[in-house]
Structure formats: structure tokens, C-alpha cells
Amino acid sequence: KITPGHDFNDFEIGERFGLDKISIFDADARVDAAAFLARGESGEWIERYRGKDRFDARKLIVAELKENGFLEKTAIHKLAVGRCYRCQTVIEPYLTPQWFVDIKPLAELAMKVVHDGKIQIIPEGWSNSYFAWMENIKDWCISRQIWWGHQIPAWYCKRCDAANLIAGPGSDYLLTKDAMPIVGRQAPQQCPKCDGTELIQDPDVLDTWFSSGLWPFSTLGWPDSTDDLKTFYPTSTLVTGFDILFFWVARMIMMGLKFMGEVPFRDVYIHALVRDEQGQKMSKSKGNVIDPLDVMNQYGTDAFRFTLAAMAAMGRDIKLAEDRIAGYQNFVNKLWNASRFVQMNLSGASDARHDGYDVLFDNNFELADRWIRSRLASTIVEARKAIEAYRFNDYANVLYQFTWHEFCDWYIEMSKLALNGTVGDDPAKSRKFLSELLDQILLLLHPIMPFVTEEIWQAFGDTRKSIMVQKYPTAPSNWIDAGTETKMAFLMGVVRAIRNLRTEMNCPPGKEVKVICYGQSADLSFLSELRPYLRALARVGSAEFLSSGERPRGAATSVVGATEIYLPLDDLINLDEEQARLAKEVGKVEQELVRVQKKLGNGDFLSKAKEEVVEKEREKASQFEEKIRTLRSSLEKIREIQAGRS
């Protein structure tokens, strides 16, 4: 059977072959015989089915087939049917008069502006989806039979269209396909054909996406040529989801070109879809929806915003897990505590606040100051590049790395020596430098952490204007100092090496150690000048710097570049006791590893347990294996030290 009036695919077939579109239902899904009677058909069957509900009519058809011996069998057949999203009633395709837009000419212009680069879709791969939709576009049905929306600007004369206006319940009317509309921007006062004044407006409203497509300019005063329209159209960037690339973005482009003669925006950034931590799309039925309000109440809005930015890798969806949000909450706390440190050192000082950033532009700095300013400049450059390229995850991660791992972990600790006068001779200048540096960090972070940065910003001066009206940081090229960064990287490498040796040998954190370094004269001279930093950062009590000579026996050792580092630890730990402790710990971890490996070797466990549970056990096994390797490495070092004594 082919039913062009009640099936989308059959409608297309009917269009190709010129078939009649017969509607057998009325608006209440009851059998309507009008179409058959209009074709001159008659018979008892018409009366049998006329006015019957669709479900009752189907039962009658089965009964009639059976009665006449035409029914071979009945069987349940599953198929996809449309249902009302509210009451789940089955929807029947039903032909009614609608308003359409011949959209293909507009689509061709909209494709051209993307082809020509006047509009850039980011990531670029979504351009293919855009073109696929636009190249296969069909006439756009813009009328909807719903309560809310812009009412269609069309009117009908009750006198001229009396035969085409069918009275419905209340004051409603149904229109036939032969109704003749009077279209105008303003409501007409009378019928242009008969001068009648009894006019009714079309009850349909515009498709939501038609109204939304006008948004870029209709909100700015169009069709009037307002100052807002001249200033803000076209805008620079539209940020949206991939699921409305055709429904909304394409319509805005077509409408903008049609009514404004210009594209509505230059860039379209398609953001990621936020999924649960297993990568499943969130839905109420699955029970995996993460309510952003709950997350913000628990972890803070800035932590949530930073998490989404840090995970928004271009072209990949976000697998949102609460432990990631908790991790970035720690970052917010780290920034807050660092700011408290700066504020504490400014409190009560006559030079506490400043106007402008005069100290940052000075050139007479200690090593740590030159290094952090150079890193700040590089961070500003990288952050700006990331934002301009819509690489928001790179933007967030660059700022995270600089703020936590360079400013907080290293510079703040080193600045304490300048603030107390151990390094340098101008603590006041160091305070100003620290304050100006923090301001730059707050400005860099403000776009994705607006609340905490504003709070901290205002805490440093009651009369300061809001951080949101400040200029975004820029860095002079002469701030970047590759030589200083190389020197600092060497110092940090030495400090890390000493810290690692202390940890591996279970050296008490508060104990100062003796360090002996062998290497090139220039490197040793550099380290010798930085003894205060070695003492503060690695708890080095005494240090020797030798370019030659016999290496110490019975010492833990590490190498950084061309520099050998030795820590004689026999005066700090009891090697025999430490060897026994490590051996006991190895045995304990080995037992845990055997237990996990036994579980992973159990076929029933692997087949019945959830994949995430199995993966968690595998991670445990890897962690235990790594811990055993580390413990055995420490044991081997102790044996080497003991062997060196004998």
C-alpha cells in the first residue's frame, strides 16, 4: 500500500509519481469519509467506518477480513511509532495546510560564506556536518500549532474565505488548503478584495527556530537602524552545541544574510557534550545526571567552571567525574592561601599598596624574580594564543601549571628569603613585586574563575575598580629570559634530586643533610652562590662543591646534568633498621599484590564483575608492582652504601 497522506516516505513517493494525497482522518484521528465522497465513492463500507476512532477502525478491518475469509493470520509486529512526549499517545501523520519557506537559495549563500572563510566553524570537522545538512536542505515548514510563539502575520476574510474556514471548538478555526491569506507587516483594516472588515488572523505561530534565527539583529532594534545594531552586529563569536548547528546556527546565518546583508558572527565554536564519568550521555532515566547547582554548592562555582574549561579538549566530549572537580577545588584553595600569604606580608607595611605595575618593569632582580617574571611572560603569551585558538583546555592547564607548580610551589618559597632579607637587600621591593605578580595571576585567571579572583582583588584595596574592567595582561618581549630559566631549571633539578634521595632513604623531613656535589666549575660556582635556596628548599645544612677527587663511599647519589650529588646519610638514619623496615614493607606489599593477582586470575570474577571494578583491580596491581620496584631500589641503595663501608 502507498498512503501519501499518512506516511512521510509514502508522501515522497506520491510527490514523485503524482499520487493523490487522501486524508482518511479528521483532527481527532477519527475516520473521515469526506475525501472518498468527494471522489464519488459510495457503499456500505463508508458508513461502517465513518466517525470511528482509529483503533476501533483497525479492529473492524481485521474482523471484516476474517469474516470474508481473507485473513491468513495475525502477528505482533514491532515498529517505531511517534508518540506525544507528554501523554505518550501515538501520533498519526496528518496532512494540514502549513506555511513553508523556499530555503534553498538562502542555504546556498550560507554555504558560500563558510566556504569563503567569512564564518569559521571550530572544530573544523563540524563544517562537514554543516554542509551535509545544507546541501540536502528542503523547504522549511515554519508554522506550528502550539500556544506560544510569534503568530503568523496572515489574515483571512470571513466573507471571501467562508468556505475555507471551518469552525472548531470555541473560537478556533481550521483552514483548508484553498484559504487565501492576506499577508502584511501590519494588521489590515479591511479585505482588499471585498472591503470586508471581519478578518481573523492565522492561528498558527512561527517555528521557534525561525524566531530564534532573527535573534542576532532583532534583539538590537531591527528593523530600525539603532546604535546597538550598528555597534554589535555582526558579533565576533557564537558558542553553542553541535546538536543545534543546523536548527539554530544555520538559520541565523541565512536570516542574517537575507535581512542584514552580512554574516551575524565570524566564528562558531562548537563546545563539547558533558557526559558522566563512564562516557554515557546524562539522562534522568539512567539516573546519572549531575546537577550543576548541587556541584556548585559542594565544590564552588569557580572550581566547577575551571574543571569544565580544563577538560574541554577540542573535538572530545567531557567525561565529568566529581573527583576531578574536587581536584580543582584544591586549586582554588591553593590560590586563596597564596593570596593570604601575600596579604599577610603586605599587612601593616607603609608600602603595602601601589599604583600601576612599576616594580614588574624594573630590571634589577634576584634570580628567582627574573625567573618568575620570565615564566609569567611566557604564560601570558601561551594563554592568549590558547584563547584565540579556542583551546580552552590548554588555556586552563597553562594557568594551572604556572599558578600552582611555579608560583606557589617554587616562587613563594623562594620569595620568603627576599622578604626576610636573607637574599637581596630590599624587602619592600620584594613585597611590591609579589603583590604585582599576584595581580597578574588574578587577571589571567579571571575569565574562568571570576568569583574568587574578584574577591581576592577587592581584598587588596577598597577603592580598586572591579577586576572585570581591567585590561587583560600583556607581556613585553624583554621579560622572557631563556638564560635565567635554564639556570633555574638546573637549581630546581638539584633540589628535586636531594628531596627524592631524602624520601627514598626515609630521612626525617626536619633533619638537615650534608650534600657533596661534583661537577663543572661554572655549575658548582652557581650552586655555591645559591646556598640559602638549597637550605630553604631541600633542608641542606652544609654543602661541599668539588670539581675533582674521590667520590664518597656509603652515600646515596643522584645526577643532574653534569653534576653528581652525594648525600652521606649514615649520621641521619640507622641503615640496619632502615633495611629491615624496607624488607618488611616489601613483604607486605607483595602479599597485597598476590591477593589482587589471584582475583584477576579468577575467570568468574572477570566475567561477572563490572568492567570498572575489574579495571580498578588492575590499577591496584600496577600500583603495587611500582611500589615494590621503588622499595627494592631503596633496599639496593642501602646495600650499596653498606658495601661501600666495608
Residues 437 and 517 in one domain: no
User: Does 116 score more than 60 pLDDT?
Assistant: yes
Residues 553 and 408 in one domain: no
**CA–CA dist 271, 236 (Å, integer):** 16
User: Does 350 score more than 60 pLDDT?
Assistant: no
pTM of the model: 0.76
Number of domains the chain contains: 5
Domain assignment of residue 396, given as a range: 302-478
User: Does 190 score more than 70 pLDDT?
Assistant: yes
Residues 19 and 144 in one domain: no
3-state SS class at 269:
strand
Residue where one domain finishes, among candidates 250, 271, 292 = 271
The DSSP bridge partners found for residue 275 are: 281, 319
pLDDT for position 644: 64
User: Does 349 score more than 60 pLDDT?
Assistant: no
Flag whether 394 is in a domain: yes
More confident call, 450 vs 639: 450
User: Does 265 score more than 80 pLDDT?
Assistant: yes
Residues 73 and 182 in one domain: no
DSSP percent split of the chain into helix, strand, coil, nearest 5: 50, 10, 35
pLDDT for position 63: 93
Q: What is the pLDDT of residues 576-591, one digit of tens each?
A: 777 788 888 889 989 9
H helices then E strands: how many in the chain? 24, 18
Flag whether 582 is in a domain: yes
Q: What is the pLDDT of residues 414-461, one digit of tens each?
A: 999 999 989 888 899 999 999 999 999 999 999 999 999 999 999 988
Residues 503 and 623 in one domain: no
Cell numbers at residue 505, please? Answer: 632513604
Residues 383 and 459 in one domain: yes
pLDDT for position 351: 52
* pLDDT more than 90, % of the chain: 58
The DSSP bridge partners found for residue 205 are: 144, 151
List, in order, residues 6 or more apart from 397 with CB less than 8 Å away. Answer: 310
Residue where one domain finishes, among candidates 567, 589, 614 = 567
509: pLDDT confidence band, cut at 50, 70 and 90? confident
Residues 593 and 461 in one domain: no
Residue where one domain finishes, among candidates 478, 504, 539 = 478
Residues 252 and 161 in one domain: yes
Asked if 383 contacts 464 with a C-beta cutoff of 8 angstroms, the reply is no
Q: Is the dihedral of CA 106, 109, 115, 116 positive or negative?
A: negative
Flag whether 277 is in a domain: no
Q: What is the mean pLDDT of residues 602-626?
A: 88
Residues 582 and 562 in one domain: no
Q: What is the pLDDT of residues 200-221, one digit of tens each?
A: 999 999 999 999 999 999 999 9
Which CATH number goes with the domain that contains 142? 3.40.50.620
Residues 81 and 110 in one domain: no
Q: Which of 83-97, 216-230, 540-554, 569-583 has the highest mean pLDDT?
A: 216-230
Q: 185-199, 356-370, 614-628: which has the minimum mean pLDDT?
A: 356-370
pLDDT for position 388: 93
pLDDT for position 251: 97
Which CATH number goes with the domain that contains 557? 3.30.2320
Q: What is the pLDDT of residues 373-396, one digit of tens each?
A: 999 999 999 999 999 999 999 999
Which CATH number goes with the domain that contains 325? 1.10.730.10
Which CATH number goes with the domain that contains 90? 3.90.740.10
Flag whether 286 is in a domain: no
User: Does 353 score more than 60 pLDDT?
Assistant: no
Q: 202-211, 311-320, 481-490: which has the minimum mean pLDDT?
A: 311-320
User: Does 352 score more than 70 pLDDT?
Assistant: no
> For 125-181, what is the HEC assignment?
CHHHHHHHHHHCCCCEECEECCCCCCECCEEEECCCCHHHEEECCCCCEEECCCCCC
Burial 503-519 (b: 16+ CB within 10 A, else e): ebbbbeeeeebbbbbbb
Which CATH number goes with the domain that contains 630? 1.10.287
Cell numbers at residue 540, please? Answer: 641542606
pLDDT for position 356: 60
More confident call, 45 vs 168: 45
Residues 247 and 361 in one domain: no
Residues 518 and 615 in one domain: no
545: pLDDT confidence band, cut at 50, 70 and 90? very high
* pLDDT more than 70, % of the chain: 96
Flag whether 544 is in a domain: yes
pLDDT for position 225: 93
